[in-house]
Amino acid sequence: MLRRKIFERSWVEIDLSAFRTNLNILKSFLEPQQQFMMIVKADAYGHGAREISKIACEEGAVYLGVANPEEGRLLRLQGCQAPVLILSPCLKNEINTILDNDLAVNVSSLDFARALNKTAKTKNKQAVVHLKVDTGMHRSGILDSEFIDFFNKIAKMDNLLIEGVFTHFASAENDPEFSKQQEERFWNIIDNLPFTPTYLHIDNSNALVNGLGKHSNLVRLGIMAYGIQVPGNKDIALQPVMTFKTILSQIKHIAKGESVGYNRSWTAKKDCLYGILPIGYADGYDFMLSNCGVVFLDNKICNVIGRISMDMICVDLSPIEHPAIGDVAILLGGSALETRAENLVSKYGGNSYELLCQVGRRAKRYYFQNGKMIYSTPLSRRDFVPDDFSDSKLNQIIESAIAQRLQSIEIGELIYREMLRDFFYYKDKDIHYRHNFQHQVIFSHSLNAGYFNATTTLNFDKVLSNDYFLVACASSDEVLRRYFKRSDVEYRWLMDDSFELDSKNFIVCLAKVDDLILQTTLHYINGCLEIRCSHPELKKKIGKRVHFTINTLTLYPCSSHQFSVFITELTRGVDISFRFPLTINTVDCVPFFSGQDKDPIIQRNNGEIRVSSKPEEWIFPISGVVFAY
Ligand SMILES: *Cc1c(COP(=O)(O)O)cnc(C)c1O
């Protein structure tokens, strides 16, 4: 008996090792010049685009194929950086999503190409396009007779990059004659193009194993990688990647002559045992499997009896000696031939692609590698598109997720408040983080005995949110703290209390945004010298990423023996340097970095210490460096 590890009404198991094996089998059919694109549309045919993409890229996929921009965007949100091609023609209102997520796109209309080119120009981007030739499928694509003209027009659009030309077979699996014609039309066109794009692709998985498209250099692998055997290619030993399972939830007797289910479509020929499985067409078990489906239970094949209901099906338990409630039933996939998708769909004239996509709508997915479960993904993953939520709703979700994870509302609330809320709560919807944050501090001898002249230079990129910003020089810790929460403050300094807060002791020498030199005005407000930096032209730059430069000159007491630099905002790439006079013998530094990079690089030169992260590393606020001398 199959031992039950998962206690749910139904679940889907995805065998990543089987997927890897299938991919390797398919890869053995590739010509030396061929690379492959993994097709992960429809959430990787129901297998989970994120996980499948990851393995495919490890196995050498140079491209991922999706159906629409939203699928591409989701991959990007999940951290996928591989090239992604949208296979079907897009709508004009999808152009922003395409460009903002760096997705390549099927172009099959001049009108769309023009709109794409125009928007790409305003974003200062190059849109990557693959042009589709219609060689006889007569779905999307430009007819071969019109293609060269189309290609030339697209080639003239400055902000479009023609990276590929492709076509699609109408019957790669069973019409070699027609497929050959399609191929001929394709190469005819390619031979007459003014230049050859990087990728020429024709094959889907069936076409590959049927020896078509051998001169292309990219192959689009789909269904066979998911383990679906195709008629005629049974000797290629592919394994199903997806298994859909449920449990026996009730066992009942039926007397000869009684019927089961809606419309009484099945009648018992003899007294027998039958069972109820708690899944139905709402779970993706096709209605067409009524009276013809089979399930694999206790190593036996059991027939589905009666009509498939929305949430239940009935199976004949006659083949099973000792059925028990809780026994696992395999509905799709697994080791039995009868429950393989291709065999199930053949019972009702259905289609394996459809069955894979629709199965397990109410089921969690469990991922297996080398026979071991490595993790599961919740149902909500499948339609989680954060744009649908308001900020406050998202905040609630995050907070309650943390509380649930820690099994304590109290600690959850605390952690959320202390560690995350400041990121989201006090800011606009977009978190305007700093990029390439460079902070240089130079201590040098001063005419004021007991003090160093301290010159600080700050350089970073950030999206400008106001037509001004403040530099705050505070007289005490307490006053300084007021300025930490304010998003209009770009630099904060704590003045030694032996000094007057005045414009002689703390000077903003230069405040610049891009090439604009800002005007500065001073205000004393409750223990703080606020220097307002502004320029009438700044208004035009609001919302754009700009370069900030802030230079200051002040004094710092020698007796303090330490100097700290704090990172107060989410920052990507940090470089902090401290230069000191050679009269200071030893300077030590203690970085405290939180974020991706907890161990920044420390470099020492004569009279200088530099603490830096890699340029792409994220550093969280509440990070910094203490220099001790
Ligand atoms: C879905 C799709 C594929 C993958 O086809 P399979 O038959 O699943 O291998 C390839 N190319 C295009 C354009 C597709 O839409």
- Assigned CATH for 16-226: 3.20.20.10
> 222 CB contacts (<8 Å, ≥6 apart)?
39, 45, 65, 204, 205
Position 440 pLDDT exceeds 90: yes
**Amino acid identity, position 158:** D
pLDDT bracket for residue 1 (50, 70, 90): very low
CB-ligand 1 contact for 86 (6 Å cutoff): no
Among protein residues, the one with the nearest Cα to ligand 1's atom 3 is: 204
Report the CATH superfamily, name and number, of domain 242-377.
Lyase, Ornithine Decarboxylase; Chain A, domain 1 (2.40.37.10)
Residue nearest to atom 15 of ligand 1 (CA): 87
Low-confidence winner among 227-231, 310-314, 319-323, 487-491 (lowest mean pLDDT): 227-231
For residue 425, pLDDT beyond 70: no
Ligand 1 site, residue 363, Cβ cutoff 6 A = no
What is the C-alpha to C-alpha distance for residues 574 and 628, in angstroms, rounded to an integer? 20
Handedness of CA 132, 134, 135, 136 (dihedral sign): positive
205 touches ligand 1 (CB under 6 Å): yes
Pick the residue whose CA is nearest to atom 6 on ligand 1.
Answer: 222
**168 in ligand 1 pocket by Cβ < 6 Å?**
yes
- Cβ–ligand 1 contact at 223 (below 6 Å): yes
- 307 labelled as ligand-binding? no
The answer on pLDDT for 381 being more than 80 is: no
Query: Ligand 1 mean position to 220 CA, how many Å?
Result: 6
Between CA 407 and CA 411 the distance in angstroms is: 8
Interior CA angle at 463 toward 462 and 465, to 5°? 125
- End-to-end CA distance of the chain: give it in Å, rounded: 71
Phi-psi region of 125 (alpha: psi -120 to 50; beta: other; left: phi over 0): beta
Ligand 1 lined by 157 (C-beta under 6 Å): no
Q: Which of 27, 66, 87, 233 to mutate for ligand 1's pocket (most ligand atoms within 8 Å of CB)? A: 87
Atom of ligand 1 nearest to the CA of 224: 9
Q: What are phi and psi of 243, to 5 degrees?
A: -125, 130
Write down the CATH number for the domain with range 434-628.
2.60.40
What pLDDT was estimated at residue 389?
Answer: 66
Burial of 54 (0-12, 13-18, 19+ CB in 10 A): middle
Residues above pLDDT 90, as percent of the chain? 75
Largest CA distance in the chain: 110
> What distance in angstroms lies between residue 204's CA and the mean position of ligand 1's atoms?
5
Give the closest residue to 422 by CA, choosing from 617, 574, 569.
Answer: 569
Q: Which of 220, 221, 224 for a ligand 1 pocket mutation test, highest count of atoms within 8 Å of Cβ?
A: 220
Q: Is the dihedral of CA 571, 538, 427, 384 positive or negative?
A: negative
Would you say 19 and 228 are in contact if contact means Cβ atoms under 8 Å apart?
no
H runs (alpha helix) in 456-578: 477-484
Rounded to the nearest angstrom, the distance between the alpha carbon of 39 and the centre of ligand 1 is 6
Determine whether the annotation assigns residue 405 to a binding site: no
**Which residues form the catalytic set?**
41, 262
Answer for the pair 339, 246: CB distance below 8 angstroms, yes or no: no
For 135-180, the pLDDT digits (tens) are 999 999 999 999 999 999 999 999 999 999 999 999 998 899 999 9
- Which atom of ligand 1 is closest in space to residue 172's alpha carbon? 7
In this prediction, residue 83 carries a pLDDT of 98
List the chain domain ranges.
16-226, 242-377, 389-426, 434-628
Ligand 1 centre and the CA of 177: distance in Å?
20
pTM, two decimals, is: 0.70
Query: Is there an atom of ligand 1 within 6 Å of 164 CB?
Result: no
What pLDDT is recorded for position 178? 96
Q: What is the pLDDT of residue 130?
A: 98
Among the atoms of ligand 1, which is closest to the Cα of residue 37?
10
- For residues 229 and 243, what is the distance between their CA atoms, to the nearest angstrom? 15
Q: Is the CB of 201 under 6 A from ligand 1?
A: no
Stretch among 26-30, 321-325, 406-410, 414-418 having the lowest mean pLDDT: 414-418
